Amino acid sequence: MDTPITEIARAIQEDRVVFVVGSGMSTSVGLPTSAELSIRLNEKFKIGLEAPECYDLQLVAKLVEIESGRDRLVEALRDILQFSGPSSEAHQLLVKIARKIVTTNYDTLIEEAVRFSGRPKRFKVIKRPTDCSNLTPPALIKAHGCITDKETLIITLNDYLERIAARDLLQTALKIWYSTNDLLLLGYSARDVDFLLSLHEIRKELGRFAGRAYAVVKDDNPQLRKVLESWNFQLIQRDVSSFLEELVDKWEARTEVQVSDVSLTVGGFKIDFGIVIGDVDKSSYRPDEIEVTWSDKEFQPPEQIASLVLEQWNRLLERADARKQDLWDGELARLCDYKSTRDKISLALQPTSYSCFATTNLLLDYPIVSRAEGEDRTIRELAGSDVFSPSSPYLANPLNVIAMLITADGFTFIPKRSATVYERPDTWQASVGGALKPDETPTSALIREVREEWGLDIKESEIQFLVLGINQRTGEPDLIAMVETEASLSQVIDTFSKFGEKFEFSNFETLRLVLRTLESFISSLRYEEWSQPSDQAALLLTLIRRLGMEAVENAFRRMGA
């Protein structure tokens, strides 16, 4: 039987968990709980309430507002809750796995954790009813507002009563999320009973449509445990930080696909690309989260096929010459091992060559190995079930970086390869891509490729790696990325016309990444001839992250994928 943490990890992978975050999450960096905030306001404004009334934040805040005014109340909240240091480890773990977050906290620690993660453009922050038109995750609903926007604050007794009476869009948004997802409460205490009661009322109204509910509580909080157990919450007695650490480990163990012959499938549309680290719609890695180690030992194909590889290379040279195609040979970086931890991807590389790649990976299904009885075998047959494993000795497996380039005004580019290139001429490809060279990192290789192909200089901060996967046609390992440049569409086109290499491609399509163009992207993925599955994967994963998994799946289904 699965443990609660295993159940939650599975639900996170299936994108059906709402994380509900209380003030207990903020105490690790020195911010007060709601009761402590109430006491500090009571003391600061000399309200004179004694226990237990001094713990009632709604009452204390209302008295402060009456005696000193709303502006003084908001100013005091900002003074107490402003935090300039780094967010806690618990917050950083939270934003790594969560896509739907509801918080009653007024502070900005979750937003800071998102910024620290390098993914600020991905999370929508919903603070007021007018923000609720698009609930597509990843999103953060600040149910009680934020100290950065005083008009959104729900803190006094009157604020709560008016919100309840209004039954506004924010409440409706919460009901939508609560009705279709499991709930996970983090950082709440028995003194948050007003919010917990409203949460319980929503779940009771939903009845059988309400999902599972979990709450992480400490052993020293019997009152809260009693209340939550009566409301059918499953309790997990843990410190929030250690709980999230184990949950992230469980989630990563589930989302890392160990068998790379599982094709990427979205909305019934399949791409011959297997994700081995990361997931379809959530994973993201900053450049400093990709670690590379190098071996000096150069890859050589096994003796069984070495002479045939050399023979095939000579044939390829003759064929390219006859077709007036450019066939380059040089050193590349072979991926010989990979692994991931909570914070990074680790890649082990060794030197290889383009000639080895062209005669192994690109001829994976070409009969070149003779059996004794005269029947030919392919390298895929020879390698067997380990064909895509880094430990397999038969493939050169150069590591590629494949990326979609996105402008500041939301456009991306789909180039068409030149008729004179050797590999897959006249096919469509991702905006930019290429193999690592010796002693390069994925980041430095991607910066070089963008500069060579587009004439554009990009920053590390503009790069977001998404997944590591395997091209199932050739066995090549590919790091898929997005490059969100500060340049506009017109600036990129102007730079390309002046400084772009124009060797691999000289023509490209441009489309804005918005919902109204989604079907045009889907049509291109389905009907055009693409260079490699990894190019399709780069576009598909970018669409999912920019427009949402639900929108992309629905578009494929409408178009009959």
Average pLDDT, the chain: 85
pLDDT recorded at residue 353: 93
The 10s digit of each residue's pLDDT in 388-403 is 887 788 899 999 999 9
For the cut 60, the answer to whether the pLDDT of residue 2 exceeds it is no
pLDDT recorded at residue 318: 85
The Cα angle at residue 285 between residues 102 and 91, in degrees rounded to 5: 30
pLDDT recorded at residue 441: 96
Residue matched to tokens 């390698």: 383
The 10s digit of each residue's pLDDT in 335-369 is 999 988 767 899 999 999 999 998 888 888 877 66
Catalogue all structural domains in the chain, each as residue range(s) with its CATH number.
Answer: 4-29+87-252 (3.40.50.1220), 32-82 (no CATH), 264-558 (3.90.79.10)
Label residue 126 exposed, middle or buried (CB < 10 Å: 0-12, 13-18, 19+). buried
For the cut 80, the answer to whether the pLDDT of residue 267 exceeds it is yes
Worst-scoring range by mean pLDDT, 168-182, 410-424, 508-522, 535-549? 168-182
For the cut 80, the answer to whether the pLDDT of residue 164 exceeds it is no
The 10s digit of each residue's pLDDT in 250-260 is 887 654 434 34
CA distances from 178 to 28, 212, 551 (A): 27, 10, 20
pTM, full prediction: 0.60
pLDDT recorded at residue 260: 46
Residue matched to tokens 């900002």: 78
The 10s digit of each residue's pLDDT in 71-82 is 999 999 999 988
Give the sheet arrangement for strand 17-21, strand by strand.
124-126, 139-142, 100-103, 17-21, 182-186, 213-217, 234-237
The 10s digit of each residue's pLDDT in 88-122 is 889 999 998 898 899 989 999 999 888 776 554 56
Top-confidence residue, 196 or 333: 333
Long-range contacts of 60-63 (CB under 8 A, 24+ apart): 61/155, 61/156, 61/157, 62/156, 62/157, 62/158
Give the tokens for residue 254. Answer: 């589930």
Q: Give strand ranges (E) for 90-137.
A: 100-103, 124-126
For the cut 80, the answer to whether the pLDDT of residue 196 exceeds it is no
Worst-scoring range by mean pLDDT, 13-17, 145-149, 486-490? 13-17
Contact present, 65 and 87 (Cβ < 8 Å): no
The 10s digit of each residue's pLDDT in 27-47 is 888 898 888 888 999 899 998
pLDDT recorded at residue 561: 58
